[in-house]
Amino acid sequence: MPLDAPYQQLMRLLSVRALEWVRQRVMDLPDPIAPDHPAIGALAGAGLVAPALSGFRGCTSPLEEIASRRMTLPLVQAASEAVLAGRGGSAHRELVVAGRLVAGDDPLWQMARRALTDDTTANVHDRLATRSRDDAGLMEQAEAVVRRPIPDEVVCAAAIDSFARVLMQLYRFGEQRPRLSHPRIYGEAFAKALRFADWARHRGDVTAMSQMVFCLRLIDPGHDVTELMAEVIASQRPDGSFPCKTGYSTADQDFRTGAVPTLAALAALHIAQTGGWQPVRRGARQDRPLSAALSRFVTAILPSADAWCAGLDPDDCLDLAAGLTRVTGENWFLRGGLRRHPVRRDRLARLALAVFPDLNATRLARDMLDINGGWPAGWRADPALRALRGLPVTLGDAADVALLARWSQAAARNDPAEFDLCCQQALLFRNGRDCDSLHAAALKYAHQAVLSAETPQGIAPRDAAAHLCRLSRAAQLFEADPMLVAAA
């Protein structure tokens, strides 16, 4: 639907006025704002919509800067902590859903995001918003919401809002077109959106009309939405906000009252006047919470590592040096004063597992330590010991059922020692470890490491070595680089 220049100019003007209203209301919020503030839902809504507006503008939207003035990283971290601890309310979940705006690389937020995605009791649209990978079961639930028959006599604003939120998240606000299970679903969704648009126009519901403008243009970018937009445009108030119902009024609105219809109208104004999604160039972000947690933990303990190595018994220092070498790539065997340190026969297997399958750490252990004092019987059948000796190792294709059962049981009963042992054994296989419950357990242990990193002076060296080994193995198991896996 091509628009003439005056009409586009009008919509840009209305967008600017609405953005200014949002800016003023956001700046009126306390700084810092508490997670239980009454307007936290409205603020999270602004943070969720802001990247979508940037996508339609082709450059960073002012709403991103506006929302990030009050939706700060500490606020999102506090909400993430509450979600991970199982005490997160609706406000905490809304902050996690919108947290990418300010916390894209934060491990706590990434772990909370994964926890919310895996929470089957959460709303489907929230789980869609926080997903970082395709999930057939979640897509099936989303399709069921989109296709669910809703008779005319029971159509209401809540039903329209649920439909719109799920459809928007399926399309990621226009960034991608979802791969639905059947082409017929696109037509069913479009027909449903048309019916909801008529209901909203007859009842003067500005929010529902704006949502249906967005949904119709998501499904059919060329659909004519001028009639709906005329109703929405005529409702803007002098202060720049949009009301819940159509009609003229000069009354100003507070943020809690006017945020939802104003943000919905802003999204509709942007999608109606643009030719589609125009990606904004940003720094590459990868959702790898285990790797991010490992990086944060290492950064926290590195200032104390030298003192720990100097004060530890050489055998205890060996575990810490192996973990640091594996994670940082630096020669901590040399830095920790372990050059030519004789490794006892009963410690060789533990050392081999601590560095396996990292090639650099294994090579440094072999070159820097005295490992020739005697090898345990049957070492040629042990892949980790073979790697430490410098012999070739063949990885299996997939982990067996017995290992996966032990691993799942260790995760269920919160047994970190057995979980670590199973992780060590799983590294001997290429596949067969993509299990949500195991990943969730790994995220729980990563959460514990991140919490301990907040007070590094209280971490015992042995605990630090255990966290290092556990996190590095979990990151390699669940967040391995696909290119490296293919090369292996």
Among 221, 229, 163, which residue's Cα sits nearest to residue 195? 163
Within 13 Å of residue 10, how many CA atoms lie on the same side as its CB? 13
Alpha helices in 287-415 (DSSP H): 289-311, 314-328, 332-335, 345-355, 359-368, 383-389, 401-412
Helices and strands (H and E) in the chain: how many: 25, 2
Q: What is the pLDDT of residues 331-343, one digit of tens each?
A: 999 998 989 888 8
Q: Is 299 exposed, middle or buried (0-12, 13-18, 19+ CB in 10 A)?
A: exposed
Q: What's the pTM value of the predicted model, to 2 decimals?
A: 0.76
The per-residue pLDDT for 455 is: 83
Q: What is the mean pLDDT of residues 98-117?
A: 89
Q: What is the mean pLDDT of residues 246-259?
A: 88
The per-residue pLDDT for 185 is: 94
Confidence of residue 280 (pLDDT cuts 50, 70, 90): low
The amino acid sitting at 138 is L
The per-residue pLDDT for 398 is: 65
Domain ranges of the chain: 5-273, 289-487
Q: What is the DSSP letter of 34?
A: P
Tell me how far apart the alpha carbons of residues 38 and 302 are, in angstroms, rounded to a whole number: 41
- Per-residue DSSP letters for 322-341? HHHHHHH-S-HHHHTT-TTP
Q: Which residues neighbour 386 within 8 Å (Cβ) at sequence distance 6 or greater?
A: 379, 380, 392, 393
193 within 8 A of 170, measured Cβ to Cβ: no
Strand partners, 205: 245
Most confident of 327-331, 381-385, 414-418: 327-331
Give the Å distances, CA to CA, from 303 to 117, 271, 296, 309, 317.
35, 50, 13, 12, 16
pLDDT score of 94 more than 80: yes
Confidence of residue 284 (pLDDT cuts 50, 70, 90): very low
Q: What is the pLDDT of residues 147-178, one digit of tens each?
A: 999 998 999 999 999 999 999 999 999 988 99
